[in-house]
């Protein structure tokens, strides 16, 4: 984790590694271009698309190799565009020249079929033709989904057509899909892959189309509630369609033309879902996850005051429920773990929204952190590095009285998240603590640092130590761990690097944890603490990058000794390598100090 | 950046002594192998006096009683190499303690100590034709007596007994190769 070193490329066996570019480009483009032929039968279409997906899946390990060609694969359109063709002939781009037949990218094909379906729907005839179109649409969308899987949906979203006129066909397809599940009239039965791509497409359109939705879509009821009801039903899915639906709903609610009524309605519904005891089963857990995911995405996308000011009352009642849910979601099995991660993300984002966005004036700033300026300082007798920047404490900043109760809740939840059993939750909490602390006044932030350090003691589990190390690294990288605190923190990190064993003793009603250092005892339920040592190496790596040599000098002996010993003698290979990376960072950035 | 400037900078890597030298040896690949990092890399780093005491101390105090038997064996090998680098330090500070620990009630400590003593005396014997052994003749009597003491303590039996038997066999091998003086009575009983 501490190192960015990857395995040497030669050890991997995929095709792409031996040729570091997209070697199947011609084949891919040929496979895509055949589809303009309308007389192809279903089986041929399917084999063609399966072939395409196979090609894309080969690039799972090196997805960025696809980047230069995504435009060709998805958006390129030469059918009704002779002028465009001429331009390409002028370039010496042989790969494009090879395709003589008219060519349409996958997304363009999808759009045309969706328009066709919309048009057919209005005419209500030619059913055969419609089923064939929907079959092709499904195959094509599934192929786009495999691209999303390989390259990540955020990148693929940018290569989908985003004209305001595309909104209606996409929405229409989703609505027909909904009806189709009920009875056979809908005629459109997409697989989940197709639904996921449509939802992502809709999300992208909703966040990019600048005009009022009322002017684009016609609907007897409110447009917003219609779109919301279409998307909302996917929030309870177990698979990736839930993520896509959450993104989609968040884009809808964060639109500038979404009135506070729309948001309030959603929050009311969310509160109902969260409070409802009927949703406690497996399906209910998924719905709750979907709701929390939507809120977390919403707080990332929307302007920070939008929800807090316009729906203050709803947020407040939702808040308490969310805290209760987080306390309930303590089970080890999979979905609650993700639910906890989502809740932690949401808490951190809401906390950030409550606090004014500013960079803490009290933080430790070193100025330029390039390696060169660090080496240069060796020749300057007087180091110009400022310790903590000037303390210009304004009255507003100093008063911890202004901290709202919600912020205290947030910090408490995040600190608890640091001790969570699941690594993803600890990571999210560490990130959240970094973001929140940056916006707090100095005295409150110092309390946070102290609480994080307190997690490293002999009576805590390995999870708490791990989370604490991650949070300390995060704080130091943001300059929030002030130099005067290092005397407290460095010994803790050194101790974490020596951790050898964690024993958990469970007696009825109570659980005891015991941490052992250096000496190894083997009794009861235990963890060998390798992840803690690895995280401690990461923390010292972060320290070496964050502080000026003059500041870290007092702790260098202690740190370097432990790092070298871990590097040589740790049982786990990842810890030895992490320590070696930390040592490299220390020598490179700290060694140049003139004593 | 001129060459002289570079030398100036590298000479000033005071915080991390011999940092660059160690970095070139202890890299991502050499540390990937446990055996290599315990033997080759560790003995390279131990050549620098600033690190040697810590390395030897960590080895015999901590790693020689590690719960993983492979680690204990590697540590004994590593201690043998440390003996080649600094025989004085090892004989003065470690050997006596380890000899006493050979009948320790904790099996991990006992096993590690026997292995450690075996490898150390072999190194001492290989080094300068046993000159170092001459200075510690009283200790050698104790070392030779380990085999008997372990038997007397019935430590070959019970959980982990087979590991102790293997370790004692190695000790006997090392005693023989090192040509340690034995009393007639001991020779017969073995």
pLDDT tens across the length of chain A (595 residues): 444 444 433 333 444 445 578 888 888 888 888 765 666 778 888 888 999 999 999 999 888 889 888 888 888 877 654 444 444 444 444 444 444 457 888 888 888 888 888 887 666 555 666 777 888 888 889 999 999 999 999 999 999 998 888 888 888 888 887 765 444 454 567 888 889 999 999 999 998 888 888 777 777 677 888 888 888 888 888 889 999 999 999 999 888 888 778 888 888 888 888 877 665 666 678 888 899 999 999 888 877 777 777 777 777 788 888 887 777 766 545 568 888 899 999 989 888 888 877 777 777 876 555 555 555 554 443 333 443 343 444 444 445 556 778 888 889 989 999 988 889 999 999 999 999 998 888 888 888 999 999 888 888 888 889 999 999 999 999 888 888 888 899 999 998 888 877 777 767 667 676 666 655 555 555 667 888 899 999 999 999 888 888 888 888 888 888 888 998 998 889 999 999 999 888 888 877 543 3
* Token pair for A510: 């109570």
Tell me, rounded to whole angstroms, the distance of Cα A241 from its chain centroid.
16
Q: Using CA atoms of A254, A255, A256, A257 in order, give the dihedral in degrees to the nearest 10.
A: -130
Nearest to A587 among B23, B51, B66 (CB): B23
What is the β-pairing status of strands A510-517 and A499-507? antiparallel
Contact check, Cβ <8 Å, A577/B32: yes
- pLDDT at position A217 is 76
- pLDDT at position B78 is 93
Residues 437-456 of A with CB under 8 A from B: none
Domain membership flag for residue A3: no
Domain membership flag for residue A430: yes
Q: What residues contact A27, with CB distance under 8 A and at least 6 apart?
A: A55
> Which of A489, A480, A493 lies closest to A388, judged by CA?
A480
Domain boundary among the residues A186, A211, A236 is at: A211
Nearest to A573 among B14, B16, B32 (CB): B32
Residue B27, sorted as left (phi over 0), alpha (psi -120 to 50) or beta, turns out to be: beta
3-state helix, strand, coil in chain A (%, to 5): 70, 5, 25
Q: What phi and psi, each to the nearest 5 degrees, are found at residue A466? A: -60, -50
Nearest to A568 among B5, B41, B67 (CB): B41
Domain membership flag for residue A163: yes
With CA atoms as reference, the chain A residue closest to B78 would be A569
- pLDDT at position A401 is 55
To probe the interface with A, which of B31, B46, B107, B108 has the most A CB atoms within 10 Å?
B31
Q: Please report residues of A whose CB lies closer than 8 A to that of B67.
A: 501, 520-522
Contact check, Cβ <8 Å, A587/B20: yes
Separation in Å, CA of A564 to nearest CA in chain B: 9
Quote the domain boundaries for residue A136: 12-211
Question: Which residues of chain B have a Cβ shorter than 8 Å from any chain A Cβ?
Answer: 5, 8-9, 12-16, 19-20, 22-23, 26-28, 31-32, 34, 37-38, 41-42, 45, 51, 54-55, 58-59, 61-63, 65-68, 71, 75, 108
% of chain B with per-residue pLDDT over 90:
8
Q: What residues contact A489, with CB distance under 8 A and at least 6 apart?
A: A449, A453, A472, A481
Nearest to B28 among A520, A580, A594 (CB): A580
Q: Please report residues of B whose CB lies closer than 8 A to that of A581.
A: 28
- For the entire predicted model, the pTM comes to 0.80
Using CA atoms, how far residue A310 sits from A207, A261, A348, A477, B57, in Å, is: 20, 9, 20, 35, 65
- pLDDT at position A244 is 94
Asked if A415 and A451 count as a contact pair (C-beta separation under 8 A), the reply is yes
What is the β-pairing status of strands A510-517 and A525-527? unpaired
Q: What phi and psi, each to the nearest 5 degrees, are found at residue A513? A: -120, 145
| HEC-encoded secondary structure of A413-446 | HHHHHCCCCCHHHHHHHHHHHHHHHHHCCHHHHH
Separation in Å, CA of A584 to nearest CA in chain B: 6
Contact check, Cβ <8 Å, B15/A580: no
What is d(CA B144, CA A280) in angstroms, rounded to the nearest whole number?
70
Asked if A55 and A26 count as a contact pair (C-beta separation under 8 A), the reply is no
Number of domains in chain A: 2
Domain boundary among the residues A211, A239, A270 is at: A211
Helix A530-546 and helix A573-590, axial crossing angle in degrees, nearest 10: 10
Angle made by CA atoms A367, A369, A371, in degrees to the nearest 5: 145
- DSSP code for A294: H
Domain membership flag for residue A52: yes
Q: Please report residues of A whose CB lies closer than 8 A to that of B104.
A: none
Nearest to A553 among B15, B20, B63 (CB): B15
- DSSP code for A484: G
What is d(CA A513, CA A503) in angstroms, rounded to the nearest whole number?
6
Q: Please report residues of B whose CB lies closer than 8 A to that of A520.
A: 65-67, 108
Tell me which residue has tokens 């849910």. A325
E strands, B65-117, in order: none
Q: What phi and psi, each to the nearest 5 degrees, are found at residue A516? A: -120, 145
Domain limits, chain B: 56-189
- pLDDT at position A223 is 82
- pLDDT at position A429 is 95
Contact check, Cβ <8 Å, B19/A3: no
**Which stretch of DSSP H or E encloses residue A270?**
helix A260-275
Using CA atoms, how far residue A193 sits from A107, A126, A244, A379, in Å, is: 14, 26, 11, 60
Contact check, Cβ <8 Å, B15/A586: yes
The larger pLDDT score, comparing residue A67 to residue B25, is at A67
Nearest to B16 among A5, A522, A587 (CB): A587
Mapped onto helix, strand or coil, the DSSP state of residue A507 is strand
A523 touches B at CB < 8 Å: no
Separation in Å, CA of A362 to nearest CA in chain B: 28
Nearest to A590 among B9, B16, B32 (CB): B16
Let me know if B162 is exposed, middle or buried by CB neighbors in 10 A (0-12, 13-18, 19+). Answer: exposed
Contact check, Cβ <8 Å, A561/B63: no
- First CA to last CA distance, chain A: 32
Q: Kindly tell me if the per-residue pLDDT of B164 is higher than 60.
A: yes
Q: Please report residues of B whose CB lies closer than 8 A to that of A573.
A: 31-32, 34
* Token pair for A7: 């395995």
Tell me which residue has tokens 């932690």. A344
- pLDDT at position A246 is 94
Domain membership flag for residue A155: yes
Angle made by CA atoms A180, A182, A188, in degrees to the nearest 5: 5
In sequence order, what DSSP letters do the residues of B51-99 get, joined into one string? THHHHHHHHHHTGGG-SSHHHHHHHHHHHHHHHHH-HHHHHHHTHHHHH
Helix A282-301 and helix A240-253, axial crossing angle in degrees, nearest 10: 40
In residues, how long is chain B?
190
Angle made by CA atoms B163, B167, B171, in degrees to the nearest 5: 165
Domain membership flag for residue A576: yes
Asked if B56 and B82 count as a contact pair (C-beta separation under 8 A), the reply is yes
Residue A363, sorted as left (phi over 0), alpha (psi -120 to 50) or beta, turns out to be: beta
- pLDDT at position A414 is 92
* Token pair for A568: 């040589």
Residue A504: CB atoms within 10 Å: 14
What is d(CA A504, CA B96) in angstroms, rounded to the nearest whole number?
36
Separation in Å, CA of A444 to nearest CA in chain B: 34
Here the ipTM equals 0.85
To probe the interface with B, which of A380, A568, A575 has the most B CB atoms within 10 Å?
A568
Q: What phi and psi, each to the nearest 5 degrees, are found at residue A365? A: -120, 135
Let me know if A111 is exposed, middle or buried by CB neighbors in 10 A (0-12, 13-18, 19+). Answer: buried
With CA atoms as reference, the chain B residue closest to A528 would be B67
* Token pair for A488: 């407290």
């Amino acid at each position: 984790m501490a190192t960015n070193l990857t395995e040497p490329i030669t050890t991997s066996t995929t095709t792409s590694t031996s040729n570091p570019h997209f070697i199947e480009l011609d084949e891919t483009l040929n496979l895509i271009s055949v589809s303009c032929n309308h007389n192809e039968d279903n089986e041929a279409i399917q084999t063609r698309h399966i072939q395409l997906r196979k090609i894309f899946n080969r690039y799972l390990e090196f997805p960025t190799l696809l980047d230069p060609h995504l435009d060709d694969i998805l958006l390129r359109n030469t059918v009704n565009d002779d002028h465009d063709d001429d331009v390409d002939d002028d370039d010496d781009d042989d790969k494009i020249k090879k395709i003589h037949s008219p060519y349409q990218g996958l997304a363009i094909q999808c759009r045309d079929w969706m328009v066709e379906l919309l048009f057919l729907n209005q005419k209500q005839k030619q059913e055969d033709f419609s089923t064939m179109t929907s079959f092709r649409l499904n195959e094509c969308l599934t192929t786009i989904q495999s691209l999303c899987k390989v390259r990540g949906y955020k990148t693929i979203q940018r290569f989908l057509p985003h004209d305001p006129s595309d909104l209606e066909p996409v929405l229409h397809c989703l609505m027909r899909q909904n009806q189709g599940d009920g009875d056979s009239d809908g005629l459109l039965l997409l697989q989940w892959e197709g639904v996921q791509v449509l939802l992502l497409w809709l999300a992208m359109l909703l966040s990019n189309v600048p005009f009022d939705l009322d002017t684009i879509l016609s609907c007897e009821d409110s447009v917003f509630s219609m779109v919301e009801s279409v998307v909302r039903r996917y929030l309870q899915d177990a698979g990736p369609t839930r993520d896509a639906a959450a993104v989609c709903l968040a884009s809808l609610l964060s639109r500038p033309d979404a009135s506070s009524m729309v948001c309030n309605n959603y929050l009311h519904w969310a509160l109902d879902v969260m409070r409802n005891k009927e949703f406690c089963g497996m399906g209910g857990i998924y719905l709750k996850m979907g709701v929390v995911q939507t809120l977390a995405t919403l707080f990332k996308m929307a302007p920070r005051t939008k929800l807090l000011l316009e729906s203050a009352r709803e947020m407040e009642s939702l808040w308490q429920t969310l805290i209760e849910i987080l306390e309930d979601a303590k089970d080890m099995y999979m979905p609650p773990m993700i639910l906890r991660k989502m809740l932690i993300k949401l808490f951190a984002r809401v906390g950030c929204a409550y606090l004014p966005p500013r960079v803490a004036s009290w933080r430790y700033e070193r100025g330029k952190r390039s390696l060169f300026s660090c080496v240069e300082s060796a020749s300057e007798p007087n180091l110009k590095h400022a310790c903590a920047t000037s303390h210009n404490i304004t009255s507003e900043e100093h008063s911890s009285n202004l901290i709202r109760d919600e912020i205290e809740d947030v910090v408490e939840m995040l600190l608890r998240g640091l001790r969570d059993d699941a690594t993803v939750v600890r990571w999210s909490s560490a990130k959240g603590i970094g973001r929140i602390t940056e916006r707090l006044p100095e005295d409150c932030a110092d309390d946070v640092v102290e609480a994080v350090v307190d997690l490293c003691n002999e009576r805590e589990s390995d999870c708490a130590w791990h989370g604490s190390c991650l949070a300390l690294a995060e704080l130091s990288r943001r300059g929030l761990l002030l130099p005067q605190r290092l005397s407290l923190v460095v010994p803790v990190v050194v101790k974490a690097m020596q951790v050898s064993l964690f024993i958990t003793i469970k007696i009825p009603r109570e659980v005891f944890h015991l941490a052992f250092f250096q000496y190894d005892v083997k009794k009861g339920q235990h963890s060998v603490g390798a992840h803690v040592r690895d995280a401690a190496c990461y923390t010292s790596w972060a320290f070496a990058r964050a502080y000026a040599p003059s500041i870290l000098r007092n702790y260098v002996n202690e740190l370097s000794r432990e790092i070298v010993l871990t590097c040589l003698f740790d049982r786990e290979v990842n810890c030895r390598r992490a320590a070696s990376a930390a040592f490299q960072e220390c020598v490179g950035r700290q060694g140049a100090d003139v004593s | 950046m001129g060459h002289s400037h570079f030398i100036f900078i590298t000479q000033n890597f005071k915080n991390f002594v011999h940092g660059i030298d160690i970095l070139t040896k202890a890299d991502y690949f050499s540390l990937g192998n446990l055996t290599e990092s315990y033997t080759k890399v560790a003995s390279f780093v131990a050549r620098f006096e600033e690190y040697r005491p810590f390395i030897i101390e960590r080895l015999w105090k901590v790693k020689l009683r590690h719960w993983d038997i492979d680690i204990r064996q590697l540590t004994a090998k590593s201690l043998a190499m440390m003996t080649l680098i600094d025989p004085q330090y090892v004989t003065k500070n470690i050997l006596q303690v380890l000899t006493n620990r050979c009948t320790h009630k904790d099996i991990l400590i006992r096993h590690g100590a026997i292995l450690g003593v075996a490898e150390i005396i072999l190194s001492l014997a290989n080094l300068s034709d046993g000159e170092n052994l001459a200075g510690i003749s009283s200790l050698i009597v104790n070392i030779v007596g380990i085999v008997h003491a372990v038997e007397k303590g019935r430590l070959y039996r019970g959980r982990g007994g087979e590991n102790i038997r293997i370790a004692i066999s190695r000790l006997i091998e090392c005693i023989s190769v090192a040509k340690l003086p034995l009393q007639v009575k001991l020779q017969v009983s073995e």
